[in-house]
């Protein structure tokens, strides 16, 4: 058994064996190796597929190259499923690189434990307040920050925040756990931990700092002052395509490795992590040794990725789903969609961006298209379409606003917004139901259903202040209404053909 903390030669040997090992219907369960494990230094909220295929890789490689007690304690706020899958494997799992040279499995052993906050809130808070923990990182998705996407501030009416304000010592939300754990450290005379967000939010460090300070100020203004003065919330940009793990993936991992793994992840070869180098007392793993880019300001990298990768992904997810495409690779294999996304980058997204140092945005777009087209990555349009109310402001609306100021038309992005509106109406082009997953799903469907026609549906959805500012709504109404009418009349593929 080989871990990412083992030697490269052993890793190569493991991969060679994995490619030739026959399927074993009674395969033994994956088990952790006998290698010494580092002490815990990080608590991670939201130990889903993305972090295990991205951040955990960097941390494991940083430990292998430079040492340090930076083992990860996973924390699930509600669901015990990941703990229950990983615990019988002593928290080891397989990560499979789906590259042009074939499937390459590796075993990752940086996770030490997984806690479930709902089952034992005290254990979760005690882990975060432990002086050995110097970083608390997060991949809780956009909705996990309990914020208003249009403003980046805490949403005081969010049900979990209402609970946490009434019960500050027994939180439910990610911001609630951060605030309470920081309060414990302050009371104990300890330094705060660094809060390292790894979610796709613009200025994600600023957003998590804002919601934490807003919540802390409502509980104890002195605590908020201490966090503001002593805490650190570095912004990050993360990039790797990680589809949801399927039952077929789990079976394939057994075939590849000869071991049964209940919690593998699959991912593309490409990975990138850009991090503002601003940690409490400078305490962090040697992430640069593992290939992360440590910078003073992540904003240009963040805008590039959020708007070019995530913005294009969201546009393709709604339009692709409505057009009958199951995955992004299948979507861009359709020449109409391929022309559409290339024009979207060239004419609407790239002109609104300032390239980061050393980056060629047109070359980046070419690389993105190759990544999207990788048939081994079954990134479902339905999966990417989730939580659109939280994603639109940073992925698409900012680009539209900047193009409007510059006098540049953006018919493709307006069409993407109209496709989102059609999608959240809950019925596809064949009148089949859509399983819309969004924190505002019920309200979105109710607004759409109550409106008598297309222009009224557009106006009602543009009126959601959690998503659109009044200025955005007024400026976009005519263009999005026209795009919505085209989608309704022609269908997604024909509408795209006209826009491309």
Q: 370-393, pLDDT tens digit by residue? A: 999 999 888 999 999 999 999 999
Task: Answer whether residue 236 is part of any domain.
Answer: yes
pTM: 0.83
> 12: Cβ–Cβ under 8 A, 6 or more apart, which residues?
none
Residue 99 pLDDT: 85
Euclidean distance between the first and the last CA atom of the chain, given in angstroms as a whole number: 50
Task: Answer whether residue 3 is part of any domain.
Answer: no
Residues of the chain with pLDDT > 70, as a percent, come to: 95
pLDDT band of residue 1 (cuts 50, 70, 90) is: very low
Higher per-residue pLDDT: 281 or 14? 281
Same domain, 257 and 316: no
> 84: Cβ–Cβ under 8 A, 6 or more apart, which residues?
none
Phi, psi of 403 (to 5 degrees): -65, -40
pLDDT band of residue 3 (cuts 50, 70, 90) is: very low
Residue 440 pLDDT: 95
How is the chain split among helix, strand and coil, in percent rounded to 5? 55, 15, 35
Going across the sheet that includes 93-99, the strands are 102-108, 93-99, 265-267
Q: Is pLDDT of 7 > 50? A: no
Task: Answer whether residue 97 is part of any domain.
Answer: yes
Q: Is pLDDT of 15 > 90? A: no
Last residue of a domain, one of 295, 314, 329: 295
Same domain, 311 and 444: yes
Distance of alpha carbon 328 from the chain centroid? 16
CATH of the domain at 337: 1.10.1040.10
Mean pLDDT of the chain: 92
Whether 56 contacts 110, CB under 8 Å: yes
Q: 91-150, pLDDT tens digit by residue? A: 999 999 998 778 999 999 999 999 999 999 999 999 999 999 999 999 999 899 999 887
Same domain, 263 and 362: no
Best CA proximity match to 403, nearest among 475, 492, 484: 475
Phi-psi domain of 108 (left: phi exceeds 0; alpha: psi -120 through 50; beta: other)? beta
Same domain, 241 and 358: no
Residue 14 pLDDT: 30
Task: Answer whether residue 126 is part of any domain.
Answer: yes
CATH of the domain at 241: 3.40.50.720
Same domain, 282 and 341: no
Same domain, 246 and 325: no
Q: 30-72, pLDDT tens digit by residue? A: 999 999 999 999 999 999 999 999 999 999 999 999 999 999 9
Q: Which domain holds residue 425?
A: 299-499
Task: Answer whether residue 433 is part of any domain.
Answer: yes
Best CA proximity match to 45, nearest among 163, 137, 131, 134: 137
What's the total number of domains in the chain? 2
Burial of 39 (0-12, 13-18, 19+ CB in 10 A): exposed
Last residue of a domain, one of 275, 295, 315: 295
- Beta strands 93-99 and 265-267: pairing type? parallel
Task: Answer whether residue 1 is part of any domain.
Answer: no
Phi, psi of 72 (to 5 degrees): -110, 130
Same domain, 47 and 168: yes
Q: 274-296, pLDDT tens digit by residue? A: 999 999 999 999 999 999 999 99
> 53: Cβ–Cβ under 8 A, 6 or more apart, which residues?
95, 240, 242, 265, 266, 267
Q: 418-437, pLDDT tens digit by residue? A: 999 999 999 999 999 999 99
Task: Answer whether residue 44 is part of any domain.
Answer: yes
Residues of the chain with pLDDT > 90, as a percent, come to: 88
Alpha-carbon distance 147 to 157, whole Å? Answer: 10
Over residues 174-184, the mean pLDDT reads 98
What is the length of the chain? 500
Phi, psi of 255 (to 5 degrees): -65, -40
In the numeric block, which tokens belong to residue 261?
């793994």
Residue 13 pLDDT: 28
Task: Answer whether residue 2 is part of any domain.
Answer: no
Last residue of a domain, one of 242, 273, 295: 295
Residue 54 pLDDT: 98
SS3 (DSSP) at 201: coil
pLDDT band of residue 202 (cuts 50, 70, 90) is: confident
């Amino acid at each position: 058994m080989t871990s990412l903390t083992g030697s490269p030669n052993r890793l190569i040997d493991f991969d060679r064996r994995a490619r030739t090992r026959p399927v074993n219907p009674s395969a033994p369960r994956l088990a952790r190796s006998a290698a010494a494990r580092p002490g815990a230094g990080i608590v991670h909220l939201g130990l889903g597929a993305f972090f295990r295929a991205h951040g955990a890789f960097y941390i494991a490689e940083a430990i292998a190259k430079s040492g340090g007690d930076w083992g990860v304690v996973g924390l699930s706020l509600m669901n015990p499923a990941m703990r229950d899958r990983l615990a019988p494997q002593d928290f080891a799992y397989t990560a499979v690189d789906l590259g042009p040279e074939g499937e390459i499995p590796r075993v990752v052993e940086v996770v030490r434990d997984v806690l479930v906050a709902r089952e034992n809130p005290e254990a979760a808070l005690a882990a975060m307040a432990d002086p050995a923990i110097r970083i608390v990182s997060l991949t809780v998705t956009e909705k996990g920050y309990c914020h208003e996407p249009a403003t980046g501030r805490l949403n005081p009416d969010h049900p979990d925040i209402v609970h946490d304000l009434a019960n500050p010592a027994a939180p439910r939300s990610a911001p609630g756990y951060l605030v309470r754990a920081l309060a414990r450290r302050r009371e104990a005379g300890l330094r705060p931990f660094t809060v390292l967000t790894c979610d796709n939010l613009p200025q994600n460090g600023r957003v998590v700092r804002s919601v934490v300070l807003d919540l802390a100020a409502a509980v104890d203004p002195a605590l908020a002052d201490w966090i503001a003065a002593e805490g650190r919330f570095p912004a990050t940009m993360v990039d790797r395509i990680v589809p949801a793990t399927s039952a077929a993936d789990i079976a394939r991992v057994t075939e590849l490795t000869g071991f049964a793994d209940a919690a593998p992840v699959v991912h593309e070869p490409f990975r990138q992590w850009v991090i503002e180098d601003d940690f409490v007392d400078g305490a962090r793993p040697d992430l640069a040794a593992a290939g992360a880019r440590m910078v003073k300001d992540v904003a240009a990298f963040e805008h590039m990725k959020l708007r070019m990768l995530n913005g294009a992904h969201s546009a393709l997810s709604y339009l692709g789903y409505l057009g009958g495409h199951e995955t992004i690779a299948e979507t861009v294999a359709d020449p109409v969609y391929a022309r559409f996304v290339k024009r979207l980058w060239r004419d609407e997204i790239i002109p609104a961006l300032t390239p980061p140092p050393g980056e060629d945005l047109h070359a980046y777009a070419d690389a993105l298209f190759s990544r999207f087209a990788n048939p081994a990555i079954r990134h479902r349009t339905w999966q990417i379409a989730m939580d659109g109310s939280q994603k639109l402001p940073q992925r698409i609306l900012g680009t539209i606003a900047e193009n409007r100021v510059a006098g540049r038309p953006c018919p493709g992005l307006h069409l993407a917004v109209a496709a989102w509106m059609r999608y959240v109406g809950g019925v596809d082009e064949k009148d089949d139901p859509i399983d819309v997953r969004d924190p505002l799903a019920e309200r979105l469907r109710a607004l759409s259903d109550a409106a008598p026609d297309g222009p009224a549906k557009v106006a009602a959805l543009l009126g959601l202040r959690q998503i659109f500012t009044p200025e955005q709504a007024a400026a976009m109404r005519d263009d999005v209404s026209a795009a919505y009418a085209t989608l309704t009349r022609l269908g997604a593929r024909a509408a795209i053909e006209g826009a491309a």
